[in-house]
Amino acid sequence: MSRLTQAVVLFLFGGAILRASVTDLFLRYVKAGLRPYLIAAGVLLIVAAAMTLWSAMRARSTSSSLEEEDHDGHGHAHHEPRVGWLLVLPVLGLLLVSPPALGSFAAGKAGSVSAAPASGSDYPPLPAGDPAQVGLLDYASRALFDDGKSLTGRNLRMSGFVTPGPDGQPMLARIVLTCCAADGRPIKVGMTGKVPLDVPADTWIQVDGVYTAKRAKDPANNVDMAYVEVKSWEAIPEPKQPYS
């Protein structure tokens, strides 16, 4: 690959990272806290592209001078292989195509995340408000490891996308990231009561409900899954931050 090709690829790749970082597109790839590192990486790639281009132009200028001095009528043109320019195509894909967030397909292929108990002996009170806004992972942890003690008596509101459960019934799910989308794992919560039947997979919904002691095993990894009793639900747009 010629240095000119390297410079173009570096510039486009750095530009793609910066574009994703200054918008919310990067949230489809990594957690929100990594934005400063992505911006720094994009800037460094663009600086590297500029230095590579400067080096390529100097080398071409020097080469042209030597050819003029040694020209004897028998010179041969040397052409760089053009196959290196094909590397531009996937980088252009990053610039032009916005990939969908991980959804029901990924959730169906992987076992549910094993919710962890609180570090202390008691769970903190739920947020104020009626209903209380609760994340799926927080709800599952409280339901499975606290037997719902901190959930009982409260109206709850959760959001996620619809994914088919092991029994064919819809479940509420969200992808949990440790660092980036490559390590994403689903947290799944089953639903009883006014279950949103005949809703297409990957539809984002907001559920209002209450705690139920029902549990089930995820056959993919034999992890306990909590359930929520749905009182009402509504379809919502996919959130800006689709991951937990």
Crossing angle, helix 3-22 and helix 35-70, to 10 degrees? 160
Helices (H), 130-243: 136-145
Strand, helix or coil for residue 166: coil
Report the pLDDT value the prediction gives residue 83, as an integer from 0 to 100: 52
Pair 173, 160: CB distance under 8 Å: yes
When comparing pLDDT for 199 and 48, which is higher? 199
Q: Where are the domains of the chain?
A: 3-69+79-96, 104-235
Written out in words, the top-level CATH class of the domain with range 104-235 is: mainly beta
- Tell whether the torsion through CA atoms of 129, 161, 224 and 215 is positive or negative: positive
Q: Is residue 191 pLDDT above 90, yes or no?
A: yes
Model confidence over 74-89: pLDDT tens digits? 555 455 555 555 556 6
Q: Is residue 90 pLDDT above 70, yes or no?
A: no
Model confidence over 17-51: pLDDT tens digits? 787 777 777 776 777 777 788 888 888 888 888 88
